[in-house]
Amino acid sequence: MSVAEIARRDDGFDPFDLNAPFDTWEQLREEQPVFFHEPTGYFVVTRHADVKAVFDDWETFSSENAQAPMRPMCEEGKRIMKEGGFTAYSGLSARVPPDHTRIRKIVQGCFGPRRFKSIEPKIEAIIDRQLNKVAPQGGCDFFREVAYEVPALVLFTLMGIPDADVPKVKDWAVSRALLTWGNLTDEEQIPHAHKMVEYWAYCRALVAARKEVPGDDLPSDLVRLQAEGAEITDEEIAGVMYSVLFAGHETTTTLMANAVISLMNNRDQWDAICADPSLIPSATEEVLRYSPSIVAWRRRAKKDTEIGGVAVPKGSDILLIMGSANRDEAVFENGCQFDVTRKNARTHLSFGFGIHFCIGSQLAKLEFGIMLRELTRRFPEMRLKEGQEITFLHNISFRVPARVDVQWGA
């Protein structure tokens, strides 16, 4: 019997089912905010204060399991990856100090406001081009036809990767998500193992290519800093590429799609932004709070400790449900309501907290803000297509819709 088949407890909690988890999360915050979930072997944490405290204490709560597969790779998958030369570990999210501190300092110098500001006109052009494609149609699957490619095209501009590679990198990203946070059978793991070999080879080849012919992009910056004496290896640069090429677009794609769902289901909030675009910055933070891309992340206890008064033994795996913490009434008044004028929305935990706070958060918000500005300007009458049932990817962390059909015009 698979983990997913036994994961649902008598109280209805199934961490892999992200279709409509909010009522269950609310009940857990009120009645059992920290508990041990036997089917997965994880301590589950649902309140804002507790989630934030765990994120903030990296010495007690290690990120070493953040990228570990929820279901271990089968023997055949391991063979495929080993023989294929797959040695990827993590760019930053699963690393701990001192390696994390060393690598993050180098990467942060390249992945900051100066470079983001320089590509803002390109972001606008990419979004404009994508919306021009769908405008005459009177509607589209917003997830697949707009949000799916835009963040990848933006990221690839930063990375110096040709637009033609978008489909295969997006495909590799899905495989990585399913292998790490999903619950695949042994047979289902095999094709994704092959794709991870391809993905890692691509990242390593990217570093080698920039050593031969440098460009004006992130991998070239890292290679240049390495040549100037920065303490970062080729494998670590490839690891950064492996992480950024996944996290740098998949989460923003999902953020855009989830935003449309939330805004269309709260029409007064959409209309308020259409009437007053100055609300976009606060609306961005509220979308991140209310319907984030990543709703849960993992940590491991390095010593005997406690969370919210519950004893947590050394070696325990911990599931932090940020999607629940972001609606905690102790922090957010009427936390289950969507309010683009909310004053403290930016205290959400969707980008994490502490030393592992998302390094690409500013880029994500820049892209999303431009997309929201253009959507409200060009399609103020946009609405969800009637009769659709939006479902979400079966996994433990990423709340990704399968499709989001929208319409505009008559």
- Fold held by 8-407: Cytochrome p450 (1.10.630)
Helices (H), 213-321: 218-227, 234-264, 267-275, 280-290
Per-residue pLDDT of the chain (410 residues; tens, 9 = 90+): 333 443 444 556 899 999 999 999 999 999 999 999 999 999 999 999 999 999 999 999 999 998 888 888 999 999 999 999 999 876 677 788 899 899 999 998 887 777 777 889 999 999 999 999 999 999 999 999 999 989 988 988 888 888 888 889 889 988 998 898 888 999 999 999 999 999 999 999 999 999 999 998 899 999 999 999 999 999 999 999 998 888 778 899 999 999 999 999 999 999 999 999 999 999 999 999 999 999 999 999 999 999 999 999 999 999 999 999 999 999 999 999 999 999 999 999 999 999 999 988 999 999 999 999 999 999 999 999 999 999 999 999 999 999 999 999 76
- 307 burial level (CB within 10 Å; 0-12, 13-18, 19+): buried
56, exposed or middle or buried, with CB in 10 Å at 0-12, 13-18, 19+? middle
